Amino acid sequence: MAEAQPRVAIVGSANVDFIVRSEHLPGPGETVTGGELVSAGGGKGANQAVAAHRLGAHVSFVARVGDDGPGKQTLEGFAREGLGTSLIVRDPDVATGVALILVDRLGQNMISVALGANQRLSVRDVERAEREIGSARVLLTQLEIPIGTVRAALTFAKRRGLTTVLNPAPATDVPDDVLAEVDWLTPNESEATRLVGFPVIDPESAVQAGRQLLTRGPKWVVITLGSQGAIAASDDEVIELPPFVVTAVDATAAGDAFSAALCVGLARGWPAARTMRFASAAGALTTTRVGAQPSLPTDDEVFNFLETTPAVRWSGRNGG
C-alpha cells in the first residue's frame, strides 16, 4: 500500500531576497566590491514551505505579502512550484518583506531583513486557515511574524492534535507560554544561546542547552551546529548527529531546509533518528547551492544523497 502524502501546515514569513556574493563579508564601515547580485524568493516561512513541498509534502502555507511587484513575484514563484497560494493575503497597505544577504566564498552569510507585510500577519489570518491547518499532521512556524500570531497558530494546532514545531529564528526571547505549545523546538547555536543565556558552541553545550529548554515545555529540542552537526534531546534520549561533509557555497536557508525536512519526516511517522538524518541531509545539500529557495533540494535528491553518502553514526544517552 502506498504511503499517504505527508501534510504540513506552515505559518510564516515571505520575502524577496537580494543576494550579493563576494570574497569576504564586510566589517563595520567597510565596502567590499566584486560581488554579483542575485534576486530570489525567500523568507523563513516561504523557504520552509517550498522545501517541504519539494520533499513531497502537501503544504498549507499561511502568509502575507504586499500588493506590489515583489509580492507578485513571490506568488508567481509559488505558482511555478505548484505550491498553493489561497492562504496568502495580498496586503495593499504595506510592502512585501525584503532581505539583503551578503555571502562570502566559504558560504557564510550576513542577513538584514525589512519585514514589511510579515509584521501584519494576524491571528485572524490564522483563523481563516483553520480548516486547512487542522487537516495537516504537523504545524511549523517561526519568528519573522508577530509573536501573537505564532502563539495562536501553535495553540490551535496543539488543540487539534497536530505535532507542533517552532523554529525560533531569528534569535529572540520566546515566552514560556509559547514554548509550552511546542513539541519540537529547532534553534541553531545563536538562537539557542539567546534562549538559554549561555554560549552554545559545541555538542556538549548543546546537550546542556537542550536539557534546560526541555524544562520549559518542548518534548524535543533539536539544536543545529553547522559544521559540527546537530543534537536532539528529549527527556529520555539524546541523539548526536555528526555533519555530512559537503563543499558549502552558501548557508542561506540551510536551517529552513532542516526544519522543513524534520516536519516532513514527522508527518511521515518516522522515528526521531531517521527524521534527524533526513533533515541533516536536506540542510547539507542546501549549502551546496546559492540562494534560498533555488538551493532547496527535492525528495529524490535527499534520498539519493543518503544512499551515496556513508552512514552517519548517532548515539543515544540516558535510555536512547
| Nearest residue to 169 via CA among 254, 227, 264, 88 | 254
Q: Tell me the three-class secondary structure of 181-232, residue by residue.
A: CCCEECCEHHHHHHHHCCCCCCHHHHHHHHHHHHCCCCCEEEEECHHHCEEE
Angle at 23 between CA 21 and CA 24, to 5 degrees: 95
Please provide the DSSP assignment of 247-272 as one string: --S--TTHHHHHHHHHHHHHHTT--H
Question: Can you say whether the dihedral through the CA atoms of 178, 183, 186, 187 is positive or negative?
Answer: positive
CB 209 within 8 A of CB 192: yes
Marked catalytic residue, from 177, 250, 256, 300: 256
| DSSP code for 96 | P
Q: How far apart are CA 132 and CA 102, in angstroms?
A: 36
- 256 included as an active-site residue: yes
Catalytic residue IDs = 256
